[in-house]
Amino acid sequence: MSNQPVETVTTSNDKLKVVLALCAVVAGIAGFYLLVDKPTVVRAAALLAGLAVAVAIAWTSAPGRQFVGFANDSVRETKKVVWPGRKEAMQLTAVVFGFVLIMAIFLWGTDKLLEFILYDLILGWKK
């Protein structure tokens, strides 16, 4: 059985809601910058109000609900991850640092060898 891709139909009403939500975000940011002479609390409130209105508008659209569903699924999947313990994380970090150190020494040595071959042997420029 093959899985057929699902087409989502976005109505013009949903597109309008997304555009209005973007306008609310822009208005909140503009309010933050236009209220330069006001206290920081007022500026932050203008920004947060614009974001809150945008979220409220986006919540009522199909793409907004799909995004919330995606975010919930992402959180659920993140909870399934088996995170390394402190000891394992420290060991892996030490391995990475050791590899980086060895690679740095190798690249430095390669650079010095090529410098010697090019400048001293081929070109004859003694330092």
The tokens of 28 are what?
Answer: 């909140």
Cβ–Cβ under 8 Å, residues 47 and 63 = no
- Please give the pLDDT value at position 112: 95
Q: What pTM does this model have?
A: 0.51
4, containing H or E segment: none
121, containing H or E segment: none
The 10 Å Cβ neighbour count of residue 24 is 20
60-116 pLDDT, tens digit per residue, is 888 888 888 999 999 999 999 998 999 999 999 999 999 999 999 999 999 999 999
21-54 pLDDT, tens digit per residue, is 999 999 999 999 999 999 999 999 999 999 999 9
How far from each other are the two terminal CA atoms of the chain, in whole angstroms?
73
The tokens of 98 are what?
Answer: 């050791």
Which backbone phi and psi does 123 adopt, to 5 degrees?
-85, -20
Query: What is the sign of the dihedral through the CA atoms of 51, 16, 19 and 15?
Result: positive
